[in-house]
Structure 1
Amino acid sequence: MLTDKIRTKQSGILLYGITPPKVKHTSEEIEVIAKKHVDRISKLDIDGLVLYDIQDESDRTDEKRPFPFIKTLNPCEYSKKYLQDLKTPRIVYRAVGNFTSEKFTAWLEETKQSQVHSVFVGAASHEQQNNITLREAYSLKREVNDNLCLGGITIPERHTKKHNEHERVFAKIDSSCEYFITQCVYDLEAAKIFLSDYAKYSKENNKEMVPIIFTLTPCGSAKTLDFMKWLGINIPNYLEEDLKDSGNILEESVRLSKMFFEELYIFGKKRGIPVGCNVESVAIRKEEIDASVDLLNEVKKIIKDNE
């Protein structure tokens, strides 16, 4: 169903994103975490589960990382070994620079056995040393398994500075990307400007638009807010102050995320853009996990109310 929705360019695709457990955990601890993931996700009415491939990103900025980087399990291995009881389709992120050409080709061969969905991630910065580039990964995908349902990353905030994010998206579509998942969105204006230019370019160049899936992330504390900014997520100053002064950052971030998505969904629909949503649950606190499920349910209502 997920593949069909992507390839028929449907609006309202709903995803839930998680990070695999940290490598420091014992096998027994990973089993416990995986059981919790399976129990929680099996109850969600979603089109797909996103599994992130976390990179350090420390060489992207000189600013100190608010939280220490701890390597996580390979998302493909975690999915295959620990989440086998989960029937939900997967979208697995792949940080392509971690692979040699031979290893990446071998993984692509494996994807022929089932309809895998993936998002290829390039270097976090120009300083990062990579075995293969994003362009080379796209080329290998077309050679080895062109049927792989491939997505790309788009960053709407980047559009306000470089004004070419829509062109980058169409270039990736030409490289066989069939959908895009955004970085977490807290800058509504930037996202709307990007969508507007995306639709305009499509019309002027007679190109089909593919689904744009906006990522929403509940934020549980001022420190998490600082970490999101460190990751490059643009949070307007007024919004940051509103969140910190709200008395309950988590509750306010969920309210704002819901409002943002409703505006973006209606805005996209008017322009014929298939818009979807990916709700991230990357925290370990129960309160934040519960908030992500609540937000997912609210997003589902928005999609249904605007069918």
Structure 2
Amino acid sequence: MKSQLADKFQDPGRGVYFIGSTPPKSTTQEEQLIEISGKLLARLEDLEVDGLIVYDIQDESSRIDKPRPFPFMETHDPRAWSQRLNSASGKPVITYKSVSSRSSEAFTAWLNEAWNEYGIKDLVLVGSPSSQGDIKLPLPKAYNTLADNEHDFNLGGVTIAERHAVKGDEHLRLLKKSASGCDFFVSQAVYNHQATADLISRYARTCRDRGEKPKRIILTFTPCGSAKTLEFMEWLGISVPDATKHRILDAEAPLAESIKICRNALEQIIETALPLGVPLGLNIESLTNRKEEIDASIQLYKLLKATLDLKLAEQALI
């Protein structure tokens, strides 16, 4: 059976809306897994969501010299966490998969298990966090392996506006990934709206020049309520302009300030993307397990979904 999300992604007149989730650490027992998934889904009961996104967390220490602000811990298999959330909620789940550490044959086996045993239909493939180390399966070869697979996965890719700001070629990466089968893209968390708007503008114009329709870009946003969270965001490669950092850290209510910043960023990106015909979506996550930031991520979801829905309704009148 084909992905439930594929048809929704094809309708440029509507947004698509997701909540991001990280699998619990691998030592978490079944009783706790039930409790954690129950709490997550209880938060979503009053929200209109199209689905969830489950990440495949990697160490990534090879990518950067700075120490990781929060210790890396192995997690449960993202496929199992996706299956659990899908079964409990009935919502589709997009599952991330880091591909560099296994051979093409092992990746094929992983794909077949994902489809047959875990019911995974929607995938985002992620390459190595750096060019260093033993890369057994580069991302382009992983796309080829997936294309040869018998199962009809709904495939997405990652887009990083910060990379475009430095190299100026992220739009070409998107076009290459589209040619490899990607039908949507999920951004890294946005705190530099200008970098994201620049990427979307270049991507849309290049698509127009080539006679192609832009694929949907799902924008990720996350609240930030402390210096430690901000440090982790920067460690992950999220670009936060100095003025934005100061706004958050100097505010009486940093979380509320970060939500205002995210809303403004979305409004700025929408003004670029919608006139150029780039379909958008939202993915809201909390980067920490702090209750305040998790609660803020739900507030952020409600606000940003309302913002995008309103802009889409206005666009439909033009």
Range into which the TM-score falls when normalised by the shorter chain: over 0.9
Deviates more, 1:25-34 or 1:291-300: 25-34
Instruction: Report what 1:150 is aligned to.
Output: 155
Change (3 A) 1:233 1:179: same
Instruction: Report what 1:77 is aligned to.
Output: 80
**Contact 2:191 2:240 (8 Å CA) reproduced:** yes
**Contact 1:166 1:194 (8 Å CA) reproduced:** yes
* Letter paired with 1:252: E
Paired with 1:294 and 1:41, the residues of 2 have a C-alpha distance of: 11
Instruction: Report what 1:109 is aligned to.
Output: 112
**Contact 2:86 2:93 (8 Å CA) reproduced:** no
One of 49, 54, 79 as aligned partner of 2:52: 49
Instruction: Report what 2:178 is aligned to.
Output: 173
* Letter paired with 1:157: E
Change (3 A) 1:83 1:204: closer
Paired with 1:103 and 1:35, the residues of 2 have a C-alpha distance of: 33
**Contact 1:20 1:52 (8 Å CA) reproduced:** yes
Instruction: Report what 1:22 is aligned to.
Output: 25
Instruction: Report what 2:37 is aligned to.
Output: 34
Structure 1: gaps of 5 or more residues? none
Deviates more, 1:280-289 or 1:232-241: 280-289
Instruction: Report what 1:294 is aligned to.
Output: 299
Paired with 1:81 and 1:130, the residues of 2 have a C-alpha distance of: 30
Paired with 2:167 and 2:58, the residues of 1 have a C-alpha distance of: 24
Paired with 2:131 and 2:25, the residues of 1 have a C-alpha distance of: 26
One of 211, 214, 227 as aligned partner of 1:209: 214
Paired with 1:128 and 1:8, the residues of 2 have a C-alpha distance of: 41
* Letter paired with 1:37: L
Instruction: Report what 1:273 is aligned to.
Output: 278
Deviations 1:8-33 (A, max 9, x none): 44541111101011113233222211
Paired with 2:13 and 2:60, the residues of 1 have a C-alpha distance of: 33
* Cα RMSD after superposing both structures: 1.7
Paired with 1:282 and 1:64, the residues of 2 have a C-alpha distance of: 17
**Contact 2:229 2:288 (8 Å CA) reproduced:** no
Identity %: 38
Provide TM-score, normalisation by structure 2: 0.91
The secondary structure found in structure 2 opposite 1:67 is coil
**Contact 1:111 1:145 (8 Å CA) reproduced:** no
- Answer yes or no: is 1:100 the counterpart of 2:103: yes
Q: How many residues align?
A: 307
Deviates more, 1:106-115 or 1:162-171: 106-115
* Letter paired with 2:100: G
Runs of 4+ with >6 A deviation: none
Paired with 1:202 and 1:82, the residues of 2 have a C-alpha distance of: 36
Query: How much has 1:130 moved relative to structure 2?
Result: 2.9
The secondary structure found in structure 1 opposite 2:156 is strand
Change (3 A) 1:8 1:73: same
Query: How much has 1:300 moved relative to structure 2?
Result: 1.7
Query: How much has 1:140 moved relative to structure 2?
Result: 1.1
Pairing of 1:113-192 with structure 2 (within 5 A): 113=116, 114=119, 116-145=121-150, 147-192=152-197
Structure 2: gaps of 5 or more residues? 314-318
- Answer yes or no: is 1:262 the counterpart of 2:267: yes
Deviations 1:175-228 (A, max 9, x none): 000000000010011111111101110111111100011100101211110111
Paired with 1:117 and 1:251, the residues of 2 have a C-alpha distance of: 33
